[in-house]
Amino acid sequence: MNKSFKLEDGNFSGEIRMRIGVIAIQGDVSEHVHAVDNALSELGESSDIVEIKHSGIVPECDALILPGGESTTLGRLLLKEGISEEIKQAASAGIPIMGTCAGLILLAQRGDVQVAKTHQHLLGLMDTKVNRNAFGRQRESFETYMELPFLDSPYRAVFIRAPAIVDAGPDVEVLSKIDDKIVAARQSNILAFAFHPELTDDLRIHRYFLNMIREY
Amino acid sequence: MKLEDLRHGTELIKRGFAKMQKGGVIMDVTNADQARIAEDAGAVAVMALQAVPADIRKAGGVARMADPAIIAEIIDTVTIPVMGKARIGHFVEAEILEALGVDMVDESEVLTPADNKYHIDKTKFTVPFVCGARNLGEALRRINEGAAMIRTKGEAGTGDVSEAVKHMKKIMGEIRELAGKEKEELMMVAREIEAPIELVMETAEMQRLPVVNFAAGGIATPADAALMMRLGSDGVFVGSGIFKAEKPEQMASAIVEAVNNYDNPEILAEISKGIGAGMKGQSVDSIPDEQILQTRGW
């Protein structure tokens, strides 16, 4: 479902339409598009959701999502396509960005041995250090209910070969931990989750992100 | 939050794993060096094998699960997921692969079947499975047995993409035919294609397979990969096509980029330049019936 935007439909009854970009190079892109779309219709709002495979689109977006996928593949193609620099610029301009799983890795400044040995390209937008497969291989992948400070009841979180933040600077707000591993965090306009809010029908995290966009 | 409260191996986790592979290329590798090349090229996963399908075909005899030492070495080498092949119906090979830490098991017709009647009951495993299919009925039977991902069978080890095209078009066509049908009509379809009615109804409603659907079997060039994406594949497996090519590194990178740019012929032209010859291959027509792999599985 590709909701491509048209420049002429910028204004609807005086209201400015948001343009939300989902990085669509690889991974569970359509799941994020559906989740954002559903969260928006719940709120009775309409926005343009753009799938981004090439450079030139990021600068026109009001918010960005980095989906789950393989971080090595995503990093390599983000560089190759020239999207990487654009995301960094958008981030410094204060554009809200949400990364899930591989997205959490890409947002980090530093990585563990695993990240280093693959020469993983990192965007470096959060003052964090990540561990690529912090919980083990696929057989160790899990789901669990967890508390998040901005939700009033537990959230069903799905961790798939999930990474974790193992070290975070003072500007990083830790939203949730499993043992000593940080699995949800925010640093001003940047939001990162080690799990996949796009894989369940619970839209509360996407709704939280949409609220962030409105605040911006 | 304690680690003890965690649930493993649920349907959501298995199918979710496959979703993370979408838009990616999964490459066959037979040693650590090849695995490293695949990872550097941007593969989303590697399939650890004793020999690539073209060599399995050439060698003849009984093809079995790879030597666990090879698989373990590949697991230690790369950070991306590692998959392994088990013989159809050989649930012990699948258990061994799971014990080794393989991230997904391919119950594959490329190996000699161990059971001529039953496939593995994949619901009993914590790791997800991918299975081959040539048509919608076969795909839905595999999903009903617990497969979290489907791939076309194509004809492995040939470098001839025509069978993968045939199977993908067949599955897509059968899904389109379900659109607009009443429940009683769908029940009739379910009987005809020997698939569970619930899955037929789910497929009709979603207008796609309920799990991720990749192309496999004979993909040998960036153009082949892009062709399969144009036909609606969620991603591609490339078996012999990488390491039987003249320049594996270039071919691997080019196929990864082709999958991201599958709908742009100008970029595909650039990507396809100067990457060396593709695998020599063998047209499917020239292969005697008893050596055809895709008819394995039921």
pLDDT value at position A141? 97
The number of helices, as runs of H, and strands, as runs of E, in chain A is: 6, 14
CATH code of residue A173: 3.40.50.880
Which residues of chain B have a CB within 8 Å of the CB of A147?
A: 1
* Predicted confidence band of residue B4 (pLDDT cuts 50, 70, 90): low
Query: What is the tens place of the pLDDT at every residue in B128-173?
Result: 999 999 999 999 999 999 999 999 999 999 999 999 999 999 999 9
pLDDT value at position B1? 53
Query: What is the tens place of the pLDDT at every residue in A142-200?
Result: 999 999 999 999 999 999 999 999 999 999 999 999 999 999 999 999 999 999 999 99
pLDDT value at position A137? 97
Distance from C-alpha of B19 to C-alpha of A128, rounded to nearest angstrom: 26
Dihedral of alpha carbons B152, B158, B161, B162, sign: negative
Query: What is the tens place of the pLDDT at every residue in B54-63?
Result: 999 999 899 9
DSSP codes, B1-65? --GGG-EES-HHHHHHHHHHTTT-EEEEESSHHHHHHHHHHT-SEEEE-SS-HHHHHHH-S---P
pLDDT value at position A216? 72
Partner-chain contact A145 B5, CB within 8 Å? yes
Tell me how many domains chain A contains: 1
Q: Is some CB atom of chain B closer than 8 A to the CB atom of A192?
A: no
Minimum CA–CA partner of B127 in chain A: A139
Partner-chain contact B42 A102, CB within 8 Å? no
Residues of chain A with pLDDT under 50: 1-14
Domain that holds residue A95: 5-215
Minimum CA–CA partner of B212 in chain A: A28
pLDDT value at position A5? 40
Which residues of chain A have a CB within 8 Å of the CB of B81?
A: 70, 137-138, 161
Is the pLDDT at B98 greater than 90, yes or no?
yes
pLDDT value at position A11? 40
Give alpha helix (H) positions in chain B.
11-20, 32-41, 53-59, 68-77, 91-100, 136-144, 162-178, 183-193, 197-206, 222-230, 240-243, 248-260, 265-272
Q: Is some CB atom of chain B closer than 8 A to the CB atom of A202?
A: no
Q: What is the mean pLDDT of residues B37-62?
A: 94
Query: What is the tens place of the pLDDT at every residue in B234-275?
Result: 999 999 999 999 999 999 999 999 999 999 999 999 999 999
Q: What is the mean pLDDT of residues B41-48?
A: 97
> Considering the entire predicted model, what is its pTM?
0.95
Minimum CA–CA partner of A159 in chain B: B13
